[in-house]
Amino acid sequence: MHAPRTECLLNLIDQEYAIRDYQSDIPPRWCTGCGDNAILTAIQRLCRDEQLPPEKTVFVSGIGCSSRLPHYMNAYGFHGLHGRAFPVAEGIKMRRPDLHVFVTTGDGDCCSIGAAHWIHAIRYNMDMTVLMHDNQIYGLTKMQASPTSPRGLRSNTTPRGAYLEPLNPLTVTLGVPNVSFVAQAADWIPETLFDIVSQAYRHKGFSFVRVLQRCPEFMPHRFDAFVQDPSLTRLLVHQKGLTLTPDTSRTYRNQEIHDPGDLNRAREIASLTEEVPVGILYRNSEVPCYEDLREGERPNTPGLIRTVLDEEFDKFTIWPEDQPDQPAAS
């Protein structure tokens, strides 16, 4: 079965994608100052630098402000049900392992209604990049406490203040078997945000990146202290992790040389409360991906589909009488 003539011609062209090639015609509708804008920019820069073909790239989301991101990308997208981004993304990756799969989810979408899917997605360790936008509040539904909201937060669902301590997505992820990549970024440090997203994409496996993301509407002052005082941010640097530019290094002097292969230390860093750790906490490239473990069982591989189609087309092909290699009649 031959490739279409137009596809053959396109393959002769060395196409180079620019940022605009990844921008949809829909302008982002997030609030001015929303950290989601910085995350979108980092993703579009990544696609440009890695030259990801839009037709080979998929963005999957659930429900929430963060989950509108697929609408703003010129690529394939699936805006799914609340908390159900992971099973959709896993199904896509299972049947189309050749695609670049990204998941964008929020603290409520991932850690509340989607918590069970999140935990098992870590175990499966399928090759996808996950960005959890954590503004510590339900924004799209107008200010309800989320699992990561700080204790005492007054919201529409906790008018007397949240009673429980917040869930820590980093420590939870690091405690699940088969975890292979965990990182934390902050939307107000765009250089490290882009570096972390890039390293997450290049890791083969389930790359979980928690992005501390400002919500100017419902949590306008939540991260003010960290934005205004760089000493409260601990940058994790290592030859296998972040490498800083001189400007960033001068601004953020609170640095720790952390080997991402040290799981115990990663868990200690993830538990920090007085400082915000930013960088690669953990990376293990030896953890097998579920789609690779099941590769021999996958019934609908592109090669098999092509073979079946060829066999069906051959049944109706009128072969020249002098054709020496025509298939035998069944």
> Tens digit of pLDDT for each residue in 223-273?
999 999 999 999 999 999 998 999 999 999 999 999 999 999 999 999 999
CA dihedral 202, 205, 210, 211 (to 10 degrees): 30
Task: Count the Cβ atoms, other than its own, within 10 Å of residue 158.
Answer: 17
Residues forming a β-bridge with 237: 242, 257
Question: Which residue, 211, 203, 199, is CA-closest to 169?
Answer: 211
Print pLDDT tens along the chain (330 aa).
344 555 555 555 568 999 999 999 999 999 999 999 999 999 999 999 999 999 999 999 999 999 999 999 999 999 999 999 999 999 999 989 999 999 999 999 999 999 999 999 999 999 999 999 999 999 999 999 999 999 999 999 999 999 999 999 999 999 999 999 999 999 999 999 999 999 999 999 999 999 999 999 999 999 999 999 999 999 999 999 998 999 999 999 999 999 999 999 999 999 999 999 999 999 999 999 999 998 876 566 677 778 888 888 888 888 787 665 555 554
Contact 178, 122 (CB under 8 A): yes
Alpha-carbon gap, residue 48 to 45, rounded angstroms: 5
Structure tokens at 72: 């703003």
Fold held by 11-297: Rossmann fold (3.40.50)
| Single-letter code of the amino acid located at 243 | T
Burial class (CB within 10 angstroms; exposed 0-12, middle 13-18, buried 19+) of 318:
exposed
What pLDDT, on the 0 to 100 scale, is given for residue 102? 98
pLDDT on residue 1: 39
pTM of the model: 0.86
Q: How far is residue 172's CA from residue 242's CA, in Å, rounded to a whole number?
A: 22
| Distance between CA atoms of residues 156 and 114, nearest Å | 21
AA letter at 311: E
Contact 192, 297 (CB under 8 A): no
Contact 149, 168 (CB under 8 A): no
